[in-house]
Every structure is written in C-alpha cells, then in structure tokens.
Structure 1
Amino acid sequence: MQGLSAIAQRYATALYELAETEKTLDDVAADLRDLRQMLVDSEDLARLTRSPILSRDEQSKAIAAILDKAGAKPLTKKFVGTLAMNRRLFALPGIIDAFLSELARRRGEVTAEISSAKALTKTQEKALTDALKKAIGSTVAIETKVEPALIGGLIVKVGSRMIDSSLRTKLQRLQLAMKGTA
C-alpha cells in the first residue's frame, strides 16, 4: 500500500504544479471531484480503472469518452489520458484525494467530508460551508458524497471529529434501545 500512496502523491503533485502553472486549479479540482463521484456511483467505471485485462488503448479511449461526456477541462483529460497510457488508472482515487488535500493545505483550508442521502443543492452546500466556517474558525472546503442508505440527514467529518445526524443511525439507536427494554 505504501507504493500506491507514493505513486498517487507523485502524480498528484505533478498535476497540481501543471494546474497552478495554467491557473486552472479550481477547474481541475472540480473535474476531479466529479470524477471521484462517478467512480463511487459506477461500478463499471471503477472496474475500468482497475482492469488489467483491458489494453492501454481501450482504457484510454473509454476514459476519454467518459471525460468528454462529463465536460472535463483539457488539462484533466490530458492528465487522466496519461494515467491510462502509463497503466496507472488504478491509482486514480488516491491521486484525486492527494491532489485535493494538497490544494486545501496550500490554501489553508480544512476539508469537511459531507455524506448525505441525496445530493445537496448549491444553496445547501453554501449554508453548510458557512456554518462550518463559523464553528471551526477557518476556511472550509467541503467534499460531498451521496449515500442513499443514510435515508436522511447528514454525516459531517472534519479531521478526527464526526457528527452523525443521519436517520439510519437514529433508527439503529432506537432499535438498540428497544432491544434493551425487551
């Protein structure tokens, strides 16, 4: 696992420097967040990035078509294409995390991971960012992911702290409490 994180860190640093030079850090970060969500949402896409059976050319063409359809920026497409040609698509999740962590670190931001049952609207994201900024006292970047199993509510992770107000957890607690009274 150490080797994978070293590979991810090297590629993430290279992408960061390229994006910084081209002044496209925010665009690349948005593309990578979208790609990370696509990897979570699509088992087929995740399998494509991990498959040793597919040729470099097949992986390159498939990932290029996906990024085109997603409207990814040229630098992101070129970078992910290079990963495919170098047979490094398997490292993509780690590269995305390393890139976003480096971006947050250099901007002095704290990253909050937000899990919700449904996708948050831009208004909800802004309200959540503002509330977290007020509570934490520093700039907060939020990373959102959709987990339908939560049923409702949110799970917010900031560093080692976690606030779980999901309906799933509340139902689990109620179930445990009811078992205790029986």
Structure 2
Amino acid sequence: MASTSIGPSGIAARYATALFDLADEKKALDEVAGDLGGIKEMLAGSEDLRRVVRSPVLSRDEQGRAMAEVLEKAGVSELTRKFVGLVAANRRLFALPDMIDAYLAELARRRGEVTADVVAATKLTAPQTKALTDQLRKVVGQKVSVNVAVDPSLLGGMIVKVGSRMVDSSLRTKLNKLQLAMKGIG
C-alpha cells in the first residue's frame, strides 16, 4: 500500500517536525523561525540560490558548501545552519521551501495563529501591513500571521487567502470579469 508521506510534502513535514522539536528543546523556536523566514526571502529573491537548491547536477558537497557560505554570511544560527547542512547532505534541498513552510505553519498552529497569504500588486508599507493584519484579525477572530508576496501582474488590489477562504480584489480579476460580461453583451 502506498504511503501518503512519500514526496516532497511528506519529506518536508518529517524534517520540519524534527527541526521544530530540536528548536523547542533548545528554546530557539523564534530564532529558527526568523532564520527560516530569512532563507525563504533569500530563495524568493535569488534565482541562483533557487538553482543551487533544486539542481540535481550539483553534488551534495557542492550544495552543502554553497548553502553553508550563504547562511554564514546571512548570520543564521548554528542550529539552522546544521539543519540545512543535514538537508543538503541527504540530497533533500529541493524540499527546503516546503520544510520552511511546514515549520512556520506548525509554529503558528501551536500559538493559535492563522496564516494569511496575501498577494499584492505593490509592496505594502509597514502601516498598510499592520492595518491589513488588524482587519484580518477582526474578521477571523484570532491571531493572524500575514505572508505578503508581490505580483505586479495584478495591476492593483490584492488577493487574500486564509485557510480555504480566498478574497480576490485584484484589478486584473475585475478587468477579466468585465471583459467576460462585455462578451456576453455583444
């Protein structure tokens, strides 16, 4: 019988749980969460780093050395560096983004937080992010952790996803709906 824990998400969950337990034991949950958030941002901002993480051509040692150097320069904690080193040694770097998401989701779950994924047309300012977080907290009725990504193709507005609920107030979607409505008229 096939196991549902096969594949990147199963691998990610197992590694994230192990890291979470270790960080909890060392009272470093927030430090590791900060490290992982930084790594996630670095991955999002660098095609070269994403290539290192995904490349089947690079050896374990090459991937491990490259990641160690990047994390050292970024000032990442020893626990996180060792974890990423182990992931690289086990040829699992391709699942690192999923591991990061799983760790952060588990931390939020244990704290009673809900994660909201927001895609905005432009980078939100700190006051805009705070206002959005406050509004979401009122709507959801509990603590909300907001992950913001930027997609200029939205033209304006944003897409907010909390759990299975999604609100798309992007200008792109509104224009697409208008275009469909106008086709029906002609």
Q: Same fold (TM over 0.5)?
A: yes
Matches within 5 A, 1:85-124: 85-124=89-128
Unaligned runs of 5+ in 2: none
Q: 1:81 aligns with which of 82, 85, 97?
A: 85
Letter in 1 for 2:60: R
- Native 8 Å contact 1:154 1:166 kept in 2: yes
Cα distance, 1:122–1:78 mapped onto 2, change above 3 Å: farther
Using structure 2 for the length normalisation, give the TM-score.
Answer: 0.87
Q: Give me the whole-angstrom Cα distance separating, in 1, the residues matched to 2:148 and 2:171.
A: 17
Distance in structure 1 (CA, Å) of the matches to 2:98 and 2:84 = 13
Q: Distance in 2 between matches of 1:89 and 1:62?
A: 12
Counterparts of 1:10 and 1:114, CA distance in 2: 27
| 8 Å contact from structure 1 (residues 104, 141) kept in 2 | yes
Greater CA drift, 163-172 or 119-128: 119-128
- Aligned residue pairs total 182
- Tell me how far apart the structure 1 counterparts of residues 39 and 111 of structure 2 sit (CA, whole Å): 22
Alpha-carbon distance, 1:11 to partner: 0.8
Secondary structure, in 3 states, of the residue corresponding to 1:152?
Answer: coil
Partner SS, residue 3 of structure 1: coil
Query: What is the letter of the counterpart of residue 94 of structure 1?
Result: D
> 4+ residue stretches of structure 1 with deviation over 6 A?
none
Q: Secondary structure at the match of 1:96?
A: helix
Aligned counterpart, 1:149: 153
Compute the TM-score of the two structures, normalised by the length of structure 1.
0.89
Output aligned runs, 1:2-81, within 5 Å.
Answer: 2-4=5-7, 5-81=9-85
Q: Aligned partners of 2:69, 2:122: CA distance in 1, in Å?
A: 27
Partner of 2:167: 163
1:84-115 alpha-carbon deviations (Å, 9 max, x no partner): 12211011122112111111111111111111
